């Protein structure tokens, strides 16, 4: 039986060194291969042109180098670019490049599908197939960065884990991907420019505090009392608002990192002055930096609608009057289903 070859990117630098020592190869080869894997983004051993043909062949015999490929790309009228990526085993995930004058942000996925079934999110209606490996998450960033350089002549400035899946349910791979993205021998990005968004897994939020992570955290709140939140986000059963408030405070004590709340406005559901009051109460209990109020983007499966401009303005005004740092996030990429909550990999029908 043919044994599964090990993915070479799943080796640590030390393991790669041991492999070369075993084969009496010179030590500088390790650095060369490591650079090809994490800095020059070789997607095959053939591309490692400063290695001898024999060594490239040897590596190809001993290891696999699975990489994401771009399966389809859509361009929005507002400059947003959505990519459908294909994994080595044929799954599809989506990532988005969101450009503004000051920033080029990559919105990346962490799972294939999602197990949380949030009622307003297209990904929530797809079963979770598997977690993405850290090198696959890394590839998303690399490929979106290449797009940014090609289209806008600028490197990525920010990364948000707000694509498909719940990052904290793929904890190890997400942290390892961020370690490679921020490492000087990886993409060398500042962790302060990375935001991980969670639907709220209290235990893992505390774990982030214990692990003293350096990136920012965003909590998708979307309803400011347990009854409503439970209706739209089943995860609230096991992670109620009280437990999340405690976990966020613990995270902040341990890391002093920025925390934001995400709050999608749904018409006649969470957009009344009373809802705003409840939201303010939660905001006051956590050292949160900001509340992002998000325009709802309708999806086929859900019955929610977007509130009128007047209602949205009134809600924002109420928050501001109460000295809450809130920002209205207008949707980007709606015309290509690339906006918040719309990522679902519509297959070509």
Contact 152, 197 (CB under 8 A): no
Closest CA to 145 of 96, 192, 94: 96
* Residue 340 annotated among the catalytic residues of the structure: yes
Q: How far apart are CA 44 and CA 66, in angstroms?
A: 8
- What the block records as the tokens of 99 is 């450009």
Q: Could you say which DSSP state residue 27 is in?
A: T
Q: Domains in the chain, start-ordered, CATH in brackets?
A: 6-64 (1.10.150.530), 88-336 (3.20.20.70)
Q: Considering 107, 114, 118, 340, which one is annotated as catalytic?
A: 340
28-38 vs 13-22: helix axis angle to the nearest 10? 140
Taking the alpha carbons at both ends of the chain, their separation in whole angstroms is 39
- What the block records as the tokens of 316 is 């924002």
Closest CA to 343 of 313, 295, 306, 299: 299
241-255 vs 273-285: helix axis angle to the nearest 10? 40
For the chain, give the number of residues: 349
Residue 305: other Cβ atoms inside 10 A: 12
Q: How far apart are CA 200 and CA 92, in angstroms?
A: 25
Give a three-class secondary structure readout of 174-243.
HHHHHHHHHCCCCCCCCHHHEEEEECCCHHHHHHHHHCCCCCEEEEECCCCCHHHHHHHCHHHHCCCHHH
pLDDT by residue for the chain (349 residues), tens only, comes to 456 899 999 999 999 999 999 999 988 999 999 999 999 999 999 999 999 999 999 999 999 999 999 999 999 998 999 999 999 999 999 999 999 999 999 999 999 988 888 888 877 778 889 999 999 999 999 999 999 999 999 999 999 999 999 999 999 999 999 999 999 999 999 999 999 999 999 999 999 999 999 999 999 999 999 999 999 999 999 999 999 999 999 999 999 999 999 999 999 999 999 999 999 999 999 999 999 999 888 777 778 899 999 999 999 999 999 999 999 987 777 776 766 666 665 543 2
For residue 124, what pLDDT is reported?
Answer: 77
User: DSSP assignment of 293-346, as one string?
Assistant: EE-----TT----PPPHHHHHHHHHHHHHTT--EEEE---SGGGT-STT----P
Residue 59: other Cβ atoms inside 10 A: 18
Dihedral sign, Cα of residue 314, residue 319, residue 323, residue 329: negative
Q: Considering 25, 94, 258, 295, which one is annotated as catalytic?
A: 94
Q: How far apart are CA 304 and CA 281, in angstroms?
A: 25
Q: How far apart are CA 182 and CA 180, in angstroms?
A: 6
Model confidence, pTM: 0.93
Half-sphere exposure of 170 (CA within 13 A, CB side): 29
């Amino acid at each position: 039986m043919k044994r599964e070859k090990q993915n070479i990117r799943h080796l640590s630098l030390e393991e790669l060194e041991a492999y070369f020592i075993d084969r009496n190869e010179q030590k500088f080869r390790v650095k060369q291969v490591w650079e090809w894997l994490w800095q020059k983004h070789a997607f095959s051993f053939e591309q490692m042109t400063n290695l001898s043909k024999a060594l490239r062949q040897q590596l190809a015999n001993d290891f696999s180098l699975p990489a994401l490929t771009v399966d389809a790309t859509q361009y929005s009228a507002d400059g947003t670019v959505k990519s459908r990526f294909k994994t080595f085993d044929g799954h599809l995930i989506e990532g988005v490049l969101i450009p503004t004058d000051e920033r080029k942000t990559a919105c990346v996925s962490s799972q294939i599908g999602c197990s949380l079934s949030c009622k307003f999110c297209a990904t929530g209606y797809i079963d979770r197939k598997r977690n993405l490996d850290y090198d696959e998450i890394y590839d998303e960033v690399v490929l979106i960065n290449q797009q940014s350089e090609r289209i806008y002549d600028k490197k990525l400035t920010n990364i948000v884990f707000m694509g498909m899946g719940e990052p904290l349910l793929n904890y190890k791979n997400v942290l390892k991907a961020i370690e490679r993205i921020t490492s000087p021998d990886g993409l060398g990005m500042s962790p302060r420019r990375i935001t991980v968004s969670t639907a709220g897994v209290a235990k893992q939020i505390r774990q982030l505090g214990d692990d003293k992570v350096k990136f920012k955290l965003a909590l998708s709140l979307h309803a400011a009392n347990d009854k409503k939140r439970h209706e739209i986000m089943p995860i609230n059963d096991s992670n109620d608002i009280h437990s999340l408030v405690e976990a966020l405070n613990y995270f902040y004590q341990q890391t002093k990192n920025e925390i934001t709340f995400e709050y999608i406005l749904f018409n006649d559901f969470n957009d009344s002055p009373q809802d705003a009051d409840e939201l303010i109460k939660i905001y006051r209990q956590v050292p949160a930096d900001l509340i992002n109020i998000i325009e709802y983007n309708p999806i086929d499966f859900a019955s929610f609608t977007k509130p009128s401009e007047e209602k949205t303005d009134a809600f924002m005004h109420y928050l501001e009057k109460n000295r809450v740092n809130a920002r209205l996030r207008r949707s980007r990429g709606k015309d290509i289903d690339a906006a918040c909550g719309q990522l679902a990999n519509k297959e070509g029908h």
